[in-house]
Structure 1
Amino acid sequence: MFVNRMTARKFRAICNYIAGWILATVCISALGMTAFGEFSLSKLFFMLQLSIFVGLSHGIYDVVVLQDEMDHRSVPTALFIRSLYFIANISINYALCILLWDMNTNSGQFITDHGLAKVAEEFSSPECITTIALLFFLAHFFTFSNSVHKKFGTRVFINTLLGKYQDPVEEDLIFMFIDLRHSTEFAEELGHVKYSSFMKDYYRLLSNCCAENRGDIYQIAGDGAFLTWKTSACKKKARPINCFYDFAVCLERTKPRFMKKYGVAPSFKAGAHCGKVISTEVGNFGSEMAYHGDVLNTTSRIQSLCSKLGKDFLISEDLYIKLPLPLPHEYFCHKEGFFELRGKKKEILIFSLHTP
């Protein structure tokens, strides 16, 4: 595979920034020009070019420079720095577009006296100042939307906007419960402040691996996290298996960094299961997504068998028969036998996953 999943995720994220900027900017420009009876195709193309440049710059700043992370500075400082960046980004790209259009229509040279005079003329016009101000607020809106999107995940975010989960919906989902090993010992050794920082670094890596495999983090509770996928989205690609593998490789690669910073390194165990659940929004003020059904309890019970069996990854028969074969990364399944899980009337056949 020429492009790894992390690179693909970052590329998709930047493309989403560009697409969002194009859609918003062109639509607003077209509506504005139509409303004032001054529709101009050349002006529309100019705004299209500007939106591509601004969207690309915005995407690179958030995805590459900030590494998809929240700004760790105080809110006023972060807001001030980001506002300066947006003004500079929009103004520079606006000037760049003017110079490019002047180059195409005049001498063919990129920077000329005529082009610079055109830039100065445009930047002194009320229309240009209004456009920059509008794009400035649009940039902050995109940042806010992206923060909400990261909070809820792609699938939940889109379906919530569409109002899909206002009423209960039955869905066939895969759940994977990932649990940090030795969490109690780590908490006692590190202390609560340092342990909190440790868990933040650990979950940052997990969320990246989950996003790179098109999954969503449903719930984080202490040292455990529920990850979820639509079953239909995993029929051709075993995304939960890829996620488990990627996270294991990621922790192995970052182990020296954890050891240097904390003196300990994380490892994990996981259980996965699938089935039908009811998805809905619960609560009124501060509402959140909830999944109702025994699939989640069964998943956590399967994961609890990892310590008993001495395994890192266990899955149910229900999930095994739905995964595409052969499994990625040369994984193979070993039948561990039937187990009676707490709260279940019937025994469940459990498989462990191994690499050669």
Structure 2
Amino acid sequence: MPSLLTGSQLQTRARHLITHGRLLLAVKAALAAGIAWWLALKVPGVAAQYPYYAPLGAVACMYPTVAGSARQGFETLLGLAVGFVIAVPVILIGDVSVVAVAAVVALGVLAAGMPKLGAGQDWIPIAALFVLLLGGDNPQEYSFGYLIQMLVGVVVGITVNMLLFPPLHLDGAIAGLKNFRDTLALQLSDMAAAIGESWPPEHEEWSQRESRLGELGQEVRSAVQLADRSRHGNIRRRRHQRDLTADYHSLQAMERIAFHVQNMTEVLAGAIWRTPEATPLPPALVEPLGEALGRTAEAVADWDSEGSKMTAAEEAVENLMQQITASAAAEDRVQATASLGMDLRRILLIVRAESGPGSETVDQNAAA
């Protein structure tokens, strides 16, 4: 039988479940909608006739970050106001008709093209159509009640999002940066292994990973940007501090390294399979090239320190460059190897500039 979980393990698993991004957002949206409905029933005046818009406002502004929730709520209210302004004159001109419906929808869609409305763009034609069809004889009162109840829902939604486990999304940035670095090191290591195999190498996975490096860089940049946005207006940021400026610097460095690794992947794949006659690797350079690739992979994986791995990689690359010079003097075709050597040298310059104590500040307890 499997062993029973301890109280601490159960608490940890429960915390991970509760703070899971999508589940947490669903719980907060449900809670905000319920509170908004309860408050909407107590709103006095004409707005009391339209309580169902308050839960709609709460859901409309729910967003993975606090600042994003506030922005989305404001943009939604702004879009509604524009829709009301479009619909009321059409109603005053004549009764509800096919022409009136078509007119407010057309004007609403046109107005939705205005810049900087964000989430409010989608609400403009909807609000205009609702006012036209449901406003009846008092479109101004309907518009006022609709807007007030939506405002109640937006305020509730923002408040709930701010107070109930506001997510920081730091773990995604931390994991993404580590995965990016590990993938770059793996690519260099796989190329070093291919150099040491009988030619042509049996496995080709590394040669097909070139586009994935670019995609991974974009994914990690999105994760770091989300973590940055999630700090704004977040009451938990003081407990879970992280230097995202340093993360951006690390990301930029990894993106530059990825550029060189992609170039190396293309050059080496060409030398092995595509144009081996035009861009050969001289036999005398195979061993020093493999050594330089392997040592550079270790240096990239050991990003956070300036230890022996970095020194060994620099020595291996310099040895490779010397061997290239000797082979060139012997009139060997060294263009492909020289290109690989220059990329390795640039990678190590980037790592040397970015590595060292204090280059990363990691809060392993940051919330997802």
* TM-score (normalizing by structure 1): 0.28
* TM-score (normalizing by structure 2): 0.28
Higher RCO (C-alpha under 8 Å, 6+ residues apart): 2
Larger relative helix fraction: 2
